[in-house]
Amino acid sequence: MSELTVRESINQALAEELERDERVFLYGEDVADYGGLYQVTAGLQERFGEERVFDTPLSETTLGGTAVGAALTGTRPVVEIMFGDFLAIVADHLTNYAAKMHFNYGDGTSVPLVVRTNYGAGDQFGLHHSQSPIAWFQNVPGIKLVAPSTPHDYKGLLKAAIRDDDPVIFLENKLRYETEGEVPNGGYTVPLCRSDRKREGEDVTVVAIGGMVDVALAAADRLATEGIDVEVIDPRTVVPLDKEPIFDSVRKTHRLVVVHEAATFGGFGGEIAAEVAEEALFHLDAPIERVGAPFTPVPFAENLEEAYLPDEDDVIAAVRNTLGE
Amino acid sequence: MELTDERRTEVYESLLLTRRFEEAVLEAYESGGVPELPHLSIGQEAVGVGATYALEEDDWIAPSLRTRAPILMRVPLEEVVAGMYGTRSGPSEGRTTQHHMGSTERAILGTTGMVGSHLNVAVGAGLSSRQLGNDRVSTVFFGDGATTRGEFHTALNYAAVEDLPVVFVIENNGWTEETPIGQVAAVEEDLIEFAGHDLPSSVVDGQDADEVIAATAEAAERARAGDGPTLLEMKTYRYRPHAEVIPERRDEAEIERWKARDPVTIYRDRLLEEGIVDEGWLEDADASIRADVEAAFQFAREDPLPPEEAMYQVYADVEVDRDGGVVR
Ligand SMILES: Cc1ncc(C[n+]2csc(CCOP(=O)(O)OP(=O)(O)O)c2C)c(N)n1
Ligand SMILES: [Mg+2]
């Protein structure tokens, strides 16, 4: 085991996959010589050369379109989109092409590309560099959406995503590149489409996504001091969703809180809530609680952004609500 | 466009205001506090100042991420600075940063953080002029990097096909963030080679405000006469890194070479040489601009943060609560 940051664990995953599979290549804006705006790809061009790691023009259309074409024809492109907000530009190629070619071909062909991008508010980067784009794609069958929370999962899931035959959008929380955690030495993968119980508890189930897993765990620690025992489930792959562990947990705790960073209305939490309402309604002892952002763009001003972002107190209040406190 | 001596002193004042404002931003940033990450245009002032000066006050302007001058020329300084601090008196009560501000009254088209997505929007403003039968010209500023997006081609093509009153201004500073434009643009020399469309284009010395004014005035005249768009490539340079968090990696000699053609100095020397101003006037102008900038920063630092309701401004005609429900 070593202690790595999220940034280091992603960098290692990329290096190991570039090493392992010569079909893998990595490209994007300023990813090569500069090492990426957030320095996630630092040193990779030097190590693997200009044919495997290279810069592109400022054109997400170029990235999206060529990645689909390359992935359809025998390579495994890993694309960096500088901010998740720019996925809106690549959305055509991701939703109409990448997501649908397996369905369209009928001979087993799919589109093994990975789009790495970041998301997340909290650094006053304003309304076009802070959005959490999960809901933009959750209703698109064919794309896998991955949002890890720990350095261990970032590394293992990214390696699995690169090996996966389907298109994957890999979402990195930009406020947590410095987060540290234990990562096993040597190659390992974490399977896509499998959730993980990050904390075991008896009283309330909290399903948290991406950067909100930390927040939920911190809330759980605080509640534990009062004897409230929270279970935290991290789906890790958001779509397609590993539902059973969530149902099982709710059947045990009888209470559900879902937490994510994007707006509550229209967000992924609503989908989890609906699934649980369909499958486990009579196991619930209290209404489901959703924690997310208000239905408004991410504001710039310091106090507004703080009010916008869901935090520990919001999770604690929601847990208490399910307990009727 | 007739440039009287008085008008040229105004041009100089705008150049100097832009320079002093951005120097103050840098100073504030370095001494620990401007919430908006500065993307400074120091070195590029003549492009924005000259082009804006050549336009009518109600001509539409869509700035690039780095075009600071037109905003400073059209918006009160206090408001701009408050827009960097995210305080109540900023252009959107702190909802967004000043460099994406929009103002219909001041004919500034709001922009987004998507570099280059504003080109077609600016063409749309030209379309509106045609539909409404007015003679407002739409001028869009964008960096060299934006010319590698499809937006560039589609905007030029449509504006040219429809003869819309649009002036396209490339602020070519040679770099798209950390990548030299030559590495990612398949042109021999100039980005206007990309155009190949049926529209006039030219390369302009972006460090010389008089050249910028002349080229833009001609383009605006053509647009107003119904003869369609023009593409202008202004060669310029930023003295600072792409954004203040990014380390400087460009060649020192390259930076020095450009500093030797500083747009503010070029204009000042010319005014002096032609006897339009004297040293005393220059000193007074500088002192008064510095005082204005200082006062605006002072104002913004004391300006309160916005009330929480400021962020619930999502629709024009219906009130929606924080949970996305219609308020009846
Ligand atoms: C669509 C999009 N892609 C990428 C970025 C990230 N980005 C911001 S500025 C920039 C470079 C812009 O270069 P250029 O157009 O030459 O303008 P300059 O910064 O030189 O003024 C990049 C890549 C962005 N904001 N929007
Ligand atoms: Mg540039």
From first to last of its 328 residues, chain B has per-residue pLDDT tens of 788 999 999 999 999 999 999 999 999 999 988 999 999 999 999 999 999 999 999 999 999 999 999 999 999 999 999 999 999 999 999 999 998 999 999 999 999 999 999 999 999 999 999 999 999 999 999 999 999 999 999 999 999 999 999 999 999 999 999 999 999 999 989 999 998 778 999 999 999 999 999 999 999 999 999 999 999 999 999 999 999 999 999 999 999 999 999 999 999 999 999 999 999 999 999 999 999 999 999 999 999 999 999 999 999 999 999 999 999 8
Architecture of domain A196-322: 3-Layer(aba) Sandwich (3.40)
pLDDT at A299: 97
Residues in chain B with CB shorter than 8 Å from the CB of A121 are none
pLDDT at residue B248, rounded to an integer: 93
- Cβ of A86 within 8 Å of Cβ of B249? The answer is no
Out of 3.30.70.1050, 3.40.50.970, 3.40.190.80, 3.20.20.70, which CATH number does the structure's domain A2-183 have?
3.40.50.970
Instruction: Output the pLDDT for position B127.
Output: 94
- Count other C-beta atoms under 10 Å from residue A216's C-beta: 31
Provide the domain count of chain B.
Answer: 1
Decide if B323 and A295 are in contact by the 8 Å CB cutoff.
Answer: yes
Q: Which residue range is the domain that position B131 belongs to?
A: 5-307
Residue B328 inside a domain? The answer is: no
The overall average pLDDT reported for chain B is 96
pLDDT of residue A98: 97
Q: Does residue B326 fall inside a structural domain?
A: no
Candidates A30, A38, A59, partner chain B, best to mutate (most B CBs within 10 A): A59
Write a three-state SS string for chain B. Answer: CCCCHHHHHHHHHHHHHHHHHHHHHHHHHHCCCCCCCCCCCCCCHHHHHHHHHCCCCCCEEECCCCCCHHHHHHCCHHHHHHHHHCCCCCCCCCCCCHHHCCECCCCECCCCCCCCCHHHHHHHHHHHHHHHCCCCCEEEEEEHHHHHCHHHHHHHHHHHHCCCCEEEEEEECCEECCEEHHHHCCCCCCHHHHCCCCCCEEEEECCCHHHHHHHHHHHHHHHHCCCCCEEEEEECCCCCCCCCCCCCCCCHHHHHHHHCCCHHHHHHHHHHHCCCCCHHHHHHHHHHHHHHHHHHHHHHHHCCCCCHHHHCCCCCCCCECCCCCECC
| Assembly ipTM | 0.87
* Beta carbons of A299 and B95 less than 8 Å apart: yes
pLDDT at B198: 83
A302 → chain B, closest CA residue: B86
Q: What is the pLDDT of residue A281?
A: 97
Q: What is the pLDDT of residues B44-81, one digit of tens each?
A: 999 999 999 999 999 999 999 999 999 999 999 999 99
Window 255-294 of B, Cβ < 8 Å to A: none
- How far apart CA B148 and CA B152 sit, in angstroms, is 7
Q: For chain A, give every domain's residue range.
A: 2-183, 196-322
Say what the pLDDT of residue A31 is: 97
Q: Is B319 on the interface with A (CB under 8 A)?
A: no
- We report the CATH number of the domain holding residue B249 as 3.40.50.970
- What lines the ligand 1 site, CB under 6 Å? A 29, 58, 60, 82, 86, 89; B 64-66, 113-115, 143-146, 171, 173, 175-177, 242
- CA B1 / ligand 2 centre spacing (Å): 29
Please tell me if the domain spanning A2-183 has the same topology as the one spanning A196-322.
Answer: yes
- Are B148 and A59 an interchain contact pair (Cβ–Cβ within 8 Å)? yes
- Residue whose CA lies nearest to ligand 1 atom number 13: B176
Ligand nearest to the CA of B66: 1
CA atoms within 13 A on the CB side of A70: 18
Best A34, A58, A63 residue to mutate vs chain B (most B CBs within 10 Å): A58
Residues of chain A with pLDDT under 70: none
Length of chain A: 325
User: Is B308 in Cβ contact with A303 (below 8 Å)?
Assistant: yes
A30 CA: nearest ligand 1 atom: 23
Q: What is the 3-state secondary structure (H, E, C) of chain A?
A: CEEEEHHHHHHHHHHHHHHHCCCEEEEECCCCCCCCCCCCCCCHHHHHCCCCEEECCCCHHHHHHHHHHHHCCCCEEEEEECCHHHHHHHHHHHHHHHCCHHHHHCCCCCCCCEEEEEECCCCCCCCCCCCCCHHHHCCCCCCEEECCCCHHHHHHHHHHHHHCCCCEEEEEECCCCCCEEEECCCCCCCCCCCCEEEECCCCEEEEECCCHHHHHHHHHHHHHCCCCCEEEEECCEEECCCCHHHHHHHHHHCCEEEEEEEECCCCHHHHHHHHHHHHHHHHCCCCCEEEEECCCCCCCCHHHHHHHCCCHHHHHHHHHHHCCC
pTM of the model: 0.93
Residues of A in contact with B95 (CB under 8 A): 127, 297, 299-301, 304
CA A16 to centroid of ligand 2, rounded, Å: 34
State which ligand 1 atom lies nearest to the alpha carbon of B147.
15
Q: Given this model, what pLDDT does residue B197 score?
A: 73
The reply to whether B118 falls in a domain is yes
The whole-angstrom separation of Cα A161 and Cα B216 is: 50
